[in-house]
Structure formats: structure tokens, C-alpha cells
A and B are shown apart, each in its own frame.
Chain A
Amino acid sequence: MVNVKLFGLLRLDSGVKEFAAEAERVKDIYTVLIEMAKQNGKTITARNIGSCAVMVNGQQATKNTKLNDGDQVIFMSMVAGG
């Protein structure tokens, strides 16, 4: 199991803050998250998720990054402001 946290617009769009999932690679989380959003009455796509920066245990990662039991995965929309 890996622990997943969402920040930025993806969290607002999916209505999901955090969850645990079985996943071998980051991209395996996509389908779980899309389904959870659906249960919240919201629609997100793999493209929405793919537009986020991903961090695994605090290190930059990609959708193909391999995961281990207990890893923390963060999805974060790129942002700017002032």
C-alpha cells in the first residue's frame, strides 16, 4: 500500500484529500483516483492527474516511477502567485 496526498486544484476537482492504494507505479494510482472522484460526484481525467507534479517520498517523480510499500505519493498542481 502507498499513501497518496493531493494538493492544489486536483484536490478541489476530485474532492479527495488523501487515501491509501495498491500501486506498483505512480500511474496505477490514476484509475483509483478517478473512481474516488466519481464517487464524490466529480469528474477528473488521467490528463488532469498527469498535469500535476508528482513527488514520491519528497523526491521528484514521474508517472512511471516504481513504488514500494509505505511510500508517500504527492500530486501537486504547478502554481504561481505573488
Chain B
Amino acid sequence: MKSKYGGYMGKVIQLDLSTKQITEYPWTDKDRELFIGGKIMAAKILSDIFTGSENPLGEENVIVISTGPLTGTGAPSSSRFNISTLSPLTGILASSNCGGTFGYYLKKAGYDALILKGKCEKHTWIEINNNKFIFHSADDMWGTKISQCQQKLKEKLNPDGKKKYGHICIGPAGENLVKYAAVLSGERAAGRAGVGAVFGAKNIKAITASGNHVIPIYDKEKTLNWNKKWFKYLSKHPLTGNQLPRLGTAGLVSSMQMCGLLATKNYTYGRNADFEKVNGETLAEQYNVVNKGCMTCPIKCARTVTVEGKEVKGPELETLGLLAGGILNDNLQLVNQWNYELDELGMDTISAANTISYAMEAKEKGLWDAGLEFGKTDNISKVWEDIAYRRGVGDELAEGSRYLSRKYGGEDFAMNVKGLELAAYEPRMAAGQGLGYAVSNRGGCHLNGGYLVILEGLGLRTNPNTPKAKADFTMLFQDLMEMISASGQCLFTSYAFFPGFLLTQPDGPITKVCNAAIPHIGWALRAINKYPDVLVIHLPVFHHTKIFPYALNMPMNFGRYIRCGERGYTLERYVNARFGITEKDDTLPRKLTDVPQDKDDPKTVVPLERMKKTYYAARGWDKNGVPTEATLRRLKIK
């Protein structure tokens, strides 16, 4: 339905894959005001469809691929799009966010979102060009790895190199329903929670989008000027303008080591004695060929390394941490190689790494021998292939760590929450990050969890072990990131929220006051979280709000922004509650709550239960972790 707002194409399309029927999904400006785009929009659509009885790999599951209103407006780092569906790994709502160009080209084709229902009868790839939806046979693509599939798409769509299009595709892991299969767009991945397996279950190998629609911008001059100012700010900020462009996320390894946050030997330790062989500095000095970034991104956090004589995407922090110290491997080039192999097979590197490290600890404890051992690296490449093609022991590893621990034992060291494996941050030295993992809507995700490590050692240095104020900060950061994501932007733009001097003057008086004050301002945050509507302001360090009136002509301020994020977060929880999620699922493996990281310091565990109570109260969820009727009405979800 046509929109009065800029940034939106005004059309959401529903494809019934079983009948090949194409219909417009009703999506009004009121929906746009409340649910913005991206993951929040997807949660609303799926909330209206799911009953709680759907099977993730069944025909009844639905995929929503949604863009944000800022994609195509020139806002920094705004080329992201979102894939939401019911996850085969967790059984609850998955939202997986991706860079690359597909979101932009979907809008150029004229659409804000695609809803995929039913199941293609045969292996299919779908070509979208303006109002044409062509269902092609994918028989000649099925079985191909990601780069081969992308090459075939190029040969079909763009043999002379003139046509511009965006694409998404799956690899063998998605085809074979590996529970943590990814969807790739170029080198970027919608990696988490197994969205690729849902594509495979629906017989979709790839989707391409192209078109010549103009993405509307309400006030071009103001938008351009604001974006210029924003780009400049990000380029001068110490994190987004210096650290991330020069070291990428891999630059975190050393800092995490110092803070005891680097998951080592399946999260047994928070420090890795061999970290200097596998840190971001070594990657930058010895392996990185060139930095890369997504469309309209000034940050350019991606690395490029050489594997098998080819220049390929380098590993992110998660992959580097988990496939190095996580499994006691000290060979960085092996991580580069495995990262490439996992991308080619179309698999989430985080879940793959955690699943094999579970298997290694299970062997060490005599529970299950999958042929995997800490420090043994010669068979890992073969294991990735075995997982992707579900051969031998790979068939079981393809189910993820939760499944394996329920079958073979060892749930205390199967490092997942709600079935989704944890990121590389070891939370016993970051209590707030521990809470975030536990309550995160999609399972053990550091970003959806609020990323409190930035306060607890990596950016600022507030007390990492105290539970004080952590629940309130978790809620605020989750809501902010929810909204940044829904807008179509990269979460890395949020780091500029922290004024540069706080990061570059760690011993400065203001920084020291901030570090000391953070545990004591929970009450203030609670008030902001409860009554954000009073914040009818734009913060000078947070450029995200002013772009809405300029590019979209949609009223926005900091309070409204937080409220939209809160709506999205609680809406996702509301959907998950329909699939049985309650307080009992907001847990961590006992290794993190019961076993101190430092055996001489009992405080080095995650004090989860105390923080959870405060968190639920702040969110307006009941003691079982379910949003109350009053909260749902307050947020206009009901």
C-alpha cells in the first residue's frame, strides 16, 4: 500500500511458493509508524501468521525478507536487510541480519519486503525484476557451493557485466537442512539460527532482485547534508573511524584477552595463552590484503585474506575467537581457511564452531567420541563437509549443540541459549553480557543481547561482575539496537553513541566518573525505559533520529526511537511465548553460572537470577518472562 513517507517503496509482496500466486500484503502507514521495517516489521507480519504450532522445516513456515526505510537514502551503513522465520535450530523466531546489496536492489525492484509461504515443488531460483517474478529451475545449481552458485547466477543474469542486481543464495548446508545453515549475499551472511535450512526446505536455492524504481527521499537536500555530517562524525570517531576500519572486529581478540572475555576451550577459560598468534594485529600485519565494506558504509570493517591462492573474506572476531582458542588451535591461517570453507558451504561459523567444541569436550569427558579433540586440527575441514552433506558423524553435528547434549549428555557445557550457540564473549567477566545472552530473543546472541561488554571492559571499564544496573542498560541497548536494525542500518553505527573522549581517555576524570557511576544509575535508566516519551530530543552523538524527519518525513525523537525498539523487542518475545518460551528458557549453561572463571574469586560467575527479575520488571513482562496484557496494549502490539 502506497506510503506517504519517504524511504518506503510502499509495497510488501507475498509469494505463495506452492501455487506461484503473488499478492500484495496489506501494510499501512500506521504499520510503518509502529513497526518501522526490518526485523520489527517481520515480527509483526509473523505474529499475525504464526499460531505456535508451526514446524520450522514444514511447508507452513513463513520467511519474511524485509528492508529498512533508510536503505537507499544514503544514510551511513544502511544497506542491511533482515531475514526472519521460525528457526529450525531453536524452534522460535529467528531474525538474521545481513549486509551486501540484496536489500537495496529489492527496493529498486519496488518492494519493502517479501513474504515467502508454502514450498516450491522443485528446486527453484526466483528472479525478481520490477513487477516480474520468474520461477526458474535450479536443477543446475542445486549442489553448488556459494561461489559456484553466484557464478551461475552471474552467467544467467549478467553475462556482459552490465546488469545490476542483488542476490541471496544458500549452499549445500542449506540444501541438506543443516540446522545452522546460512543465507549469503555476496560475501556477507545472514548467518544465524538456520535461516538457510528454511530456504532449503522450501526448495529455494537463490533469489535475485533488480529494477529501476526510485527510492523516494522526502527532503533530498536536508537528507544529503545530514548524511554528510553523519559520515564525517563516524569517520572521526575512534571506533568507527579508526579501530574498526584498520583492525576489523578481529581487533577485539587482544582486548578480550586482557579482560578475561575471550572464550577459550569451549568457555572453560576467559583467556587464551596463545592469543598473540591469532589476534587481530597478527591478522592485520601478516594476512590482511585489503579492507572492504558494504554499500554506503564508511566503516569498512571487513578483512580480505588469501586462501588457496584466492582473495576471500577474512574471519570476524567470532570466528577467530571460537575457531582458535575455542578449540585450542593456534594456527591463524587455518582459521582463514575454515572461515572460507564454512562460507562456501553456507554455514554459520559461530554455531559450527561451538558445536564441534561441544563434541571435543564431550570426548574429553567420555560422553561421546565424534573423532574431534581439542587441539586436533587435521580433520576439521573434512568435518565441515561431513556436516554440510550430512555424512557420517556430520549428520548429528548438523543438528547443533543443544540436540547433541540432550542425546549424549553435557548440557552444562553445550554453549547455547534456547538452542542458539553463544558468540565468542565469555560472560563470567561481563555479567550484563551474560544476562543479554540469556534473555536474547533469538537465543545466545551477543548483539540481540544488548552488547554490554562495551561497558564492561571493551569500551568503558565499569565493574564487570556487578549485577547493578545491568538489566536496565541491557534493555536500553537492546531497544536501541533493535531500532537501528529495523531502520536498515548496521549496528556498528551505534558505537558512535559513546563520545570519543570516553574511549581515548581511559584514565580521564570524566571516564572514571562514568565507570564508577554506571552501576548506580539503574534507577535513572529505569525511568527512561519506562517513560521514553518524555525524551522529545535529539542527542548530538546519536544521529539516527534526525534522519527520519529529513528522509522520511516521519516524526522521530530519541524517546520515540527507544519506544519503537521496545515495541519490536517485546513483540518478538510475544511471538516466542506462543512457541512456549518462558523464564525457564532464559538460562545459561551452568558452566557460566555455577563455576567461577577464577576459582579464587566466587564473583566471577554470571549472577543471572537477580538480573532477570529486574529485567522482566523493567520490560513489563510477568515473572514467567511473558509480556503482560497491559504491556502489549501500552506498546500497541495488541
Contacts and interface: CB of A to CB of B under 8 A. Distances in A.
Interface of A: 7-9, 11-12, 17, 50-55, 58, 60, 62-63, 74, 76-82
Given A8-B254, A63-B507, A78 B458 contact: yes
Contacts of A58: 258
22 contacts: A7-B255, A7-B279, A8-B243, A9-B247, A9-B251, A12-B284, A17-B281, A50-B507, A51-B238, A51-B503, A53-B255, A53-B461, A54-B507, A62-B507, A63-B507, A74-B258, A77-B243, A78-B238, A78-B504, A80-B243, A80-B244, A82-B491
Contacts, number: 89
Given A7-B255, A50-B505, 8 more contacts: A7-B254, A17-B281, A76-B258, A78-B459, A79-B459, A80-B243, A80-B459, A81-B317
A12 B492 contact: no
A72 to B, nearest CB: 12
A34 to B, nearest CB: 17
A51 B239 CA distance: 12
A82 B258 contact: no
A51 B446 CA distance: 26
A8 B247 CA distance: 8
Contacts of A51: 238, 503-506
Given A51-B506, A62-B507, A80 B458 contact: yes
B503 A9 contact: no
B276 to A, nearest CB: 8
A79 B246 contact: no
Given A8-B247, A9-B246, A11-B281, A79 B239 contact: yes
A11 B242 CA distance: 13
Interface of B: 238-239, 242-244, 246-249, 251-252, 254-255, 258, 279, 281, 284-285, 301, 317, 446-447, 451, 453-454, 458-459, 461, 491-492, 495, 503-507
B243 A82 contact: no
A17 B454 CA distance: 25
A9 B238 CA distance: 10
A79 B506 contact: no
A12 B243 CA distance: 11
A11 B280 CA distance: 11
A17 B282 CA distance: 10
B492 A52 contact: no
B284 A82 contact: no
Contacts of B255: 7-8, 53, 76-79
B305 to A, nearest CB: 17
Contacts of B454: 80
B258 A55 contact: yes
A12 B281 contact: yes
Contact of A9 (B242, B301, B317, B507): B242
A81 B258 contact: no
Contacts of B244: 80-81
Contacts of A17: 281
Given A7-B279, A62-B507, A82 B492 contact: yes
B267 to A, nearest CB: 18
B288 to A, nearest CB: 11
A17 B301 CA distance: 23
Contacts of B447: 82
A38 B461 CA distance: 31
A54 to B, nearest CB: 8
Contacts of A60: 461
Contacts of B248: 81
Given A60-B461, A80-B454, A53 B252 contact: no
A60 B462 CA distance: 12
Contacts of B504: 51, 78
A79 B461 CA distance: 11
A77 B301 CA distance: 17
Interface centre among A12, A58, A76, A82 (most CB of B within 10 A): A82
A76 B281 contact: no
Q: Which of A7, A51, A77, A81 has the most C-beta atoms of chain B within 10 angstroms of its own C-beta?
A: A81
Contacts of B505: 50-51
Nearest to B505: A51
B460 to A, nearest CB: 8
- Residue of A12, A54, A58, A77 with most chain B CB atoms under a 10 A cut-off: A77
B97 to A, nearest CB: 11
Contact of B251 (A52, A53, A81): A81
A76 B254 contact: yes
Nearest to A47: B504
Contacts of B446: 82
A53 B258 contact: yes
A8 B246 CA distance: 9
Contacts of A78: 238, 255, 458-459, 503-504, 506
B611 to A, nearest CB: 22
Given A7-B255, A9-B247, A79 B458 contact: yes
B456 to A, nearest CB: 11
B252, B301, B507 — most chain A CB neighbours (10 Å): B507
A-B CB proximity, top 10 nearest: A81-B249, A7-B254, A51-B504, A78-B503, A79-B255, A81-B252, A53-B506, A62-B507, A80-B454, A80-B459
